[in-house]
Amino acid sequence: MNMRNHTELTEFILLGIPQTEGLETVLLVVFSFIYLFTLLGNLLILLAIVSSSTLHTPMYFFLGLLSIFDMLFPTVICPKMLFYLSGQGQAISYKGCAAQLFFYHFLGSSEGCLYSVMAYDRFVAICHPLKYMLIMRRGVCVGLVMAAWLVGCLHATILTSFTFQLPFCGPKHINHFFCDIPAVLPLACADSSLAQRVSSTNVGFLALMLWLSVCVSYSRIGIAILRIRLAEGRQKAFSTCSAHLTAILCAYGPVTIIYLQPTPNPLLGAMVQLLNNIVSPMLNSLIYSLRNKEVKRSLKRVFHNVVFTALE
């Protein structure tokens, strides 16, 4: 990551969510609740998967990783946002801003890759059930996850490097609630058109490739489900995919709106990113826990054990 020493800025000022002046206390309470609920919900899913031997399968291995992503992703943004909503200052250091941008795109793109891996996992489970454990063996699952992390790291490094190789000498007010490319680039003291094209192309290409891979997997899944003669079999196959497909739509919809709009709208961008960065990770825990019988049974056992131990 190349950050030039000639920049004169040592910090930026985050202006927060546009058009919400005077609502800081309300937003602090609301987002604190959502953030804590997100951490708790995903931690419980992770605990349920780890503690239940029946859930030690590739599908739940990937679901456990998704829960980790859904705890880390909002943590890149929420603590700082809650800090300045509580009136403790809106400044973020230059390196802190760069780190926030890097980890935001690193975790976001890695999670996108994980969605594609999970779609492939469901494709193998439904279209090749007899070969499922052979194809999705432990080494393959670990390799797919490592590939997702590698793609995410490469993607975030490119975006962060092209953004912060530019000189920033003022102004330093970021019209957003965290450091992201569309909000940071307008503050550069040099021509940022190349960085803008690289970021749009990179984000757009990666999102398109991942979305196409999901579409291919689910097209094959849809064909396979339609060939199942028994209605009960079709319902069971569909139920294993519906939660994952819902989570994917919640993830890719906001990305498309944020990065592919021709003229960025600060308020629209903020609202969509709040949905994508804070609300969606909370919804994922609800989607997977409420629509998955195995997870619900495991969670009940966890609660029972916790209550039983507390009463002893």
Could you tell me whether strands 173-174 and 11-14 are parallel, antiparallel, or unpaired per DSSP bridges?
parallel
Q: Report pLDDT digits (tens) over 54-88.
A: 888 898 899 899 999 999 999 999 999 999 888 88
d(CA 67, CA 46): 6
**What is the residue-averaged pLDDT of the chain?**
83
Q: Report pLDDT digits (tens) over 197-254.
A: 888 788 778 888 888 898 898 888 888 887 777 766 677 667 667 767 777 777 766 6
Q: What is the residue type of 253?
A: G
What share of the chain has pLDDT > 70, as a percent? 82
Residue 136 has pLDDT above 50, yes or no: yes
Q: Highest mean pLDDT: which of 23-37, 189-203, 264-278?
A: 23-37
In this prediction, residue 282 has a pLDDT band, given cuts at 50, 70 and 90, of confident
pLDDT confidence of residue 253: 66
- Segment 5-21 shows an average pLDDT of 77
Q: Report pLDDT digits (tens) over 46-55.
A: 888 888 888 8
pTM for this structure? Answer: 0.85
Could you tell me whether strands 173-174 and 91-93 are parallel, antiparallel, or unpaired per DSSP bridges?
unpaired
d(CA 42, CA 297): 16
pLDDT confidence of residue 306: 61
Residue 296 has pLDDT above 80, yes or no: no
Instruction: Encode 92-139 in three state secondary structure.
Output: EEHHHHHHHHHHHHHHHHHHHHHHHHHHHHHHHHHHCHHHHHHHCCHH
Residue 74 near residue 281, CB atoms below 8 Å: yes
Q: Highest mean pLDDT: which of 5-9, 97-101, 173-177, 181-185?
A: 97-101
pLDDT confidence of residue 129: 86
Residue 118 near residue 246, CB atoms below 8 Å: no
Q: Which one is predicted more confidently, 94 or 176?
A: 94
In this prediction, residue 310 has a pLDDT band, given cuts at 50, 70 and 90, of low
Name the residue ranges covered by the structural domains of the chain.
11-166+173-311
- Segment 275-291 shows an average pLDDT of 76
Q: The sheet that has 173-174: what strands, in order across it?
A: 91-93, 11-14, 173-174
- Segment 104-111 shows an average pLDDT of 92
Identify the CATH assignment for 11-166+173-311 out of 1.10.10.10, 1.20.1070.10, 3.30.360.10, 2.40.50.140.
1.20.1070.10
Residue 296 near residue 203, CB atoms below 8 Å: no
In this prediction, residue 150 has a pLDDT band, given cuts at 50, 70 and 90, of very high
d(CA 130, CA 27): 51
pLDDT confidence of residue 12: 92
In this prediction, residue 3 has a pLDDT band, given cuts at 50, 70 and 90, of very low
pLDDT confidence of residue 162: 92
